Each structure stands twice: as C-alpha cells, then as structure tokens.
Amino acid sequence: MDKIKMTTPLVEMDGDEMTRILWKLIKDELLLPFIDLKTEYYDLGLEHRNETDDKVTFDSAYATKKYGVAVKCATITPNAARVEEYNLKEMWKSPNGTIRAILDGTVFRAPIKVKGIEPCVKNWEQPITIARHAYGDVYKASEMKIPGPGKVELVYTAEDGTKESVTVHEFDGPGIVQGMHNLSGSIESFARSCFNYALDTKQTLWFATKDTISKKYDHTFKDIFQDIYDAEYKEKFEALGIEYFYTLIDDAVARVMKSKGGFIWACKNYDGDVMSDMLSSAFGSLAMMTSVLVSPEGYYEYEAAHGTVQRHYYKYLKGEETSTNPVATIFAWTGALRKRGEIDEIEELMAFADKLEKATIDTIENGEMTKDLALITELKCVKVLNTEDFIKAIRTTFEAM
Ligand code: NAP
Ligand code: MG
C-alpha cells in the first residue's frame, strides 16, 4: 500500500515523561506505517529547553506562524522540584504560556464521546466545547486588604495627565478590594477565534457574561462580540445554518444542564477555568478531551488536555507496566493532520484522520481500553490493556477497517 503524501510539514513539538513515550509509540505504530510523515521537529523536552535557554519553545511558536498547524506533546512546567531534578539553569516558563502569548489564541476543549463511557448528565447527547479566554480579569488583578475606615477609589491618569476617578467604597471598618482589567484588543481576538472555530466546526456559539450587573466591564465583552458578529460573521453563520447567541451567565448554566450538547460555549477567563473542569469530569476524564489553541489569524496548535503523567513515567522507568491512556494525544495528531489535509486539499489525509479516530473509539467500544477508562465504563466485558498493547489494538482495528 502506498503511503499518504504530505505537501507542507506539520510543526511537531515533542515533550516530556510518559507523554513523550506515548508520542513515539503513536508515531511508530499508527502514523509512520501509513503516512509519509512530513514534520518540522522541535524538541520541547525539558532537557533540550534548558540546553537552548528555552529558545526552542519560541522557535516552535514562530514555526507555527509560518506553517499554520502544530501538534504538541505535553511538557513539564518547571517548579522548584523540577529545577533540582533536571539541574535547570532557570525556572523556565510554561511552554503553553509562551506559545499562547506568541500566537494570541483561545483554547477550545471538547470531550471525546465513546459509547459505554456516558456523561453524568444523561441528556448530553453531543459534546460541549468550552472556549476559554486566556487573558486578564481576576488572573491579572491587583488586590488590597483594607485595614479600617477610609475611602477606596479607582483612578485613571491619561497620558496627558488628566484624571478620571470613581469611588469603589467608603469603608467604615476593615475589608478587601480588588482591581482588574482586560484589553479591547484581547477581547476582539477572543471573539474572532470563537466565531472562526464555530464556522470551522459548524456549531452554534453561545456566549454569556453578567452584563446586567457589570454594566461597563462585562457589557463591553457583550458589545465587542455583537459588533464583530454583525460586521464580519452574521452572513457566514446564516449560510451554514448556525447561530450566535448571547445570554446571561446564570441563564447559560441552567440551559447547558438541560441541553443536548453540540455547541460551543465561550467563557470569560474565570468562567472557562471553572466550567471546563466541571464539563471534563462530567463527561468522563481529561484523557478523553481534545484541546486546540486557535489564533485570530487562523493558526492551530493541537495538544492533549492532560499533563505528562509523571506518576506513570516513574513506574515505567522502574520497568513496571503502565496503562496510560493515549487517546487525547492520538486526537491531537489526527486534529493536526486533518487540518493540514484541509488547508493543503489532501483528501486522503483527512480521511486517514477520520479513520484513525474511529478505530480508536471502536477499540474502546469493543471493550479494549486502558485502566482509567475501565474504572468508569458501563461496558460489561472489558479487557484492560497496558499502554503499548492498547495502541497495538488500535492498529489492529484500523487495519481491519
Ligand atoms: P497529569 O500529567 O495530568 O496527571 C495527573 C493524574 O491524572 C495522573 O497521575 C493520572 O492519574 C491521571 N492522568 C492524566 N492523564 C492521564 C492519561 N493520559 N492516562 C491515564 N491517566 C491519566 O498532571 P500532573 O501529574 O499534575 O502533572 C505532571 C506534569 O505535567 C507537570 O510537570 C506539569 O507541569 C505538566 N503539565 C503539562 C500540561 C501541558 O503540557 N499541557 C498540562 C498540565 C500539566 P493516576 O495517577 O491516578 O493514574
Ligand atoms: Mg482549573
């Protein structure tokens, strides 16, 4: 059988620990036998980031801007323990943070639905995708403890020295205060990423804030979304038969619980943080989520939503058997290959991505799965496989299709 040819390379960002082991297994068993894989390889493993003074992370992000599509393995974000463990020159920043800052994107996360692993919410027939704005609000806030009676004001000083102020509160005893901000440019990018992703995946887009209470802050989010929608996206949405709809955050939460799923839910930073954990646990597990960073210019970076699975890696190093779930990492690859196929108009590549995803899901639905899924499945006859055997089982299903 001829291997599928590619015309443009994918930006390949290798990573750390157990997911680095998965990375190689997936390539060897599921990709290289079938595709003449073209990638520009960047080793984001912590050792190599340290050797290059983290330059490799920046280079990989710039390469994503050049080629348009990247696939990323999970990477260690160093803390004090990692600095010691890897003898690092510095506590290098989170690669995801660096890449996000360069691409200026929004992160979309959606559950991978499998029969036998059912969401806790019975009426969720379709996946719900969370789009989280990744800049500002409470994550970049300034806070103060107020020791006793006194007045707190917000003061804006323009470049020419003119001032504008509002009273936050006249305290008659101790209390607390917080000042937060966002940027119109960042909200505009967020809105465009959401609208583009909705068009791309042909799904209706929901957006919700608390604009009735926050008449300037949250209302600005609402207005920016509406203005961009009306000016740039309305006709495209109508042509595809999808909708953009805005509602209050409390109403959105109530509707989500009663919905059948199958839409994108755009969330402000804090709402997205909280709601994505709620959704991923309600749908099953972090190892069954897709995650993609979409930039407003239309660059895509696909990854798994989970980390490097350190605990399993240490078992693996001791020669013990591990049952790490590779599904999210496989779907990062299929997402990137499908997007490459779409951009370069390579039908076979898109079909390959669809088929490999189906083979992965079929394998699980036939009862062969990793331990994390065996613990939550409603299927009766289940065979728990180790990491390598599960990937081989997917290959067997794929080749039989
Ligand atoms: P983690 O790698 O997500 O793993 C936490 C636990 O979740 C695991 O011990 C395992 O539970 C379970 N788990 C996660 N993914 C799994 C999978 N694919 N298959 C089976 N079980 C899975 O989080 P962590 O251990 O807290 O973090 C490890 C490293 O990952 C850290 O250095 C952190 O910086 C990094 N990280 C990277 C990213 C990223 O690059 N996107 C994201 C988050 C964290 P059991 O042990 O109970 O089996
Ligand atoms: Mg969180």
The atom number, within ligand 1, closest to the CA of 95 reads 40
With CA atoms as reference, report the closest residue to 26 among 353, 377, 382. Answer: 353
Reported as type and span, the H/E element at residue 115 is none
Q: How far is the CA of 74 from the centre of ligand 1 (A)?
A: 9
> Cα separations (Å) of 5 from 23, 44, 173, 339?
21, 26, 71, 15
Contact 133, 106 (CB under 8 A): yes
Mean pLDDT of 371-387: 94
Q: What is the pLDDT of residues 281-312, one digit of tens each?
A: 888 888 999 999 988 788 999 999 899 999 99
Mutate to test the pocket of ligand 1, among 26, 100, 308, 315 (most ligand atoms within 8 A of CB): 308
Helix pair angle (327-344, 17-26), 10° resolution = 50
With CA atoms as reference, report the closest residue to 301 among 327, 333, 325, 279. Answer: 333
The atom number, within ligand 1, closest to the CA of 329 reads 18
Strands (E) in 221-358, as ranges, are 244-248, 263-267, 289-294, 300-304
Q: How many residues does the chain have?
A: 401
- Mean pLDDT check: name the lowest of 136-145, 164-173, 342-351: 136-145
Determine how β-strand 69-72 pairs with β-strand 142-146: unpaired
CA distance 346 to 360: 22
Phi, psi of 236 (to 5 degrees): -65, -40
Percentages of the chain per state (helix, strand, coil), in multiples of 5: 45, 20, 30
Q: What is the pLDDT of residues 298-350, one digit of tens each?
A: 899 999 989 999 999 999 999 999 999 999 999 999 999 999 999 999 999 99
Q: Starting from the CA of residue 293, give the closest ligand.
A: 1
Question: Which amino acid makes up residue 104?
Answer: D
β-sheet bridge partners, residue 290: 110, 304
Quick one: tokens of 79? Answer: 């803390």
Question: Which amino acid makes up residue 99?
Answer: I
Q: How far is the CA of 306 from the centre of ligand 2 (A)?
A: 12
Q: What is the mean pLDDT of the chain?
A: 95
**Residue 146 pLDDT grade (very low, low, confident, very high; cuts 50, 70, 90):** very high
Q: Quick one: pLDDT at residue 281?
A: 83
CA distance 218 to 331: 34
Phi, psi of 268 (to 5 degrees): -60, 165
Determine how β-strand 263-267 pairs with β-strand 150-157: unpaired
Q: Quick one: pLDDT at residue 298?
A: 84
Contact 102, 58 (CB under 8 A): yes
Quick one: tokens of 255? Answer: 């509707």
CA distance 263 to 130: 9
- Pocket residues: Cβ below 6 A from ligand 1: 74-77, 96, 286-287, 303, 306-311, 324-325, 372
Q: Quick one: pLDDT at residue 242?
A: 98
Q: Quick one: pLDDT at residue 39?
A: 98
Q: Quick one: pLDDT at residue 371?
A: 95
Q: What is the pLDDT of residues 234-250, one digit of tens each?
A: 999 999 999 999 999 99
CA distance 390 to 327: 10
Q: Quick one: pLDDT at residue 294?
A: 86
The pTM of the full predicted model, rounded to 2 decimals, is: 0.88
Contact 198, 237 (CB under 8 A): yes
The atom number, within ligand 1, closest to the CA of 82 reads 32
Residues with CB under 5 A from ligand 2 (ion): 273, 277
Q: Starting from the CA of residue 278, give the closest ligand.
A: 2
**Residue 134 pLDDT grade (very low, low, confident, very high; cuts 50, 70, 90):** confident
Q: How far is the CA of 25 from the centre of ligand 1 (A)?
A: 18
- Locus of tokens 């779409």: 342
**Residue 252 pLDDT grade (very low, low, confident, very high; cuts 50, 70, 90):** very high
* DSSP per-residue codes, 268-305: -HHHHHHHHHHHHHHHS-GGGEEEEEE-TTS-EEEEES
Q: Quick one: pLDDT at residue 377?
A: 93
